[in-house]
Amino acid sequence: MARKIISDDARRLERRRLLVGLGIGCGVVCVGVAILLAVGYARLTAVPPPPPEAVQSSDQPNTGVSPGQGVALQAQVAVVQRAVRSRRPQPVAIDVSAEELTRQLGRDLEGQGVEDLNIYLGEGTVVAQGRTSMGDRKLYATVRLRPGVENGCLTLQIEDGQVGTLPMPKQLRDQLQHRVDESIAANPPQRTGIRLESVHVSGGRLRLQGTSMGRR
C-alpha cells in the first residue's frame, strides 16, 4: 500500500513538472512570437532608406545635352501638345529630371493619398518612394520599375518593392502591376496622339522620344 501511495505521488509530481514545463515552453513561444511581431511591425512602419538609384543619380555626371534638357517640363509638354494638334507627324521628346518628376507627380498624387513622394532615376530603373494609406495605417512604400516600349506605348514592369523595410508581398506587387498595366492600356497611341519609340533612364534623367501621329 505504501509503495502504491509513493507511486501515485511520484506520478502526480511528474505530471506537475510536465505541466510546468509545458507552461514555461508556451510562455517562451508567446514571448518569441511577440518579439517577432514587434520586430515585424517596426520594420513594416519604418522609414526606408533611399534606394541605390538615389546615389547613382547624384554621383553620375551628365556628359551630354539632349533636346529639351534644361527646359521646364510644362514647356516641353506644351510643345508636344502643339505637335499632336498638327496635321503632319513630327518628332517629339520629353527630357525630365528626377526632381521635376517628383514635383509634378507629387502634386498629381497628393489628392490620391500619396505623401512625401520621391522619384529616383538610376540606370534603366525608376524608383518611386512615398507614404500611402494601407488599411488604417500610413506606411512607406518603395516600388522599383523598369520602363520600356511596346507597340508604341510605354511599359512599366515592377521589379521589386518594399513596405517599410519589408519585402512587398507578391500578391500586392501583382495588384500594383495590374493597375499600372490597366492605366497604360487605357491610353494607347490612338488616344494620346503619340507613338513612343524609345525611353532612356540614366544620370538622373528620363528621356522619352516618339512621333506625333498627326490629325486626320
Tens-digit pLDDT profile for residues 95-131: 999 999 999 888 888 777 788 889 999 999 999 998 8
pLDDT(7) > 90: no
Query: With pLDDT > 70 as the criterion, what percentage of the chain qualifies?
Result: 69
**All structural domains of the chain with their residue ranges:** 1-44, 52-212
Confidence of residue 51 (pLDDT cuts 50, 70, 90): confident
Across the chain, the runs of DSSP E, i.e. the strands, are 91-97, 115-121, 126-134, 137-150, 153-163, 166-167, 194-202, 205-212
Q: CA Rg, the chain, in Å?
A: 28
pLDDT of residue 174: 92
- Whole-number percent of the chain with pLDDT over 90: 32
C-alpha to C-alpha distance for 24 and 121, rounded to whole angstroms: 53
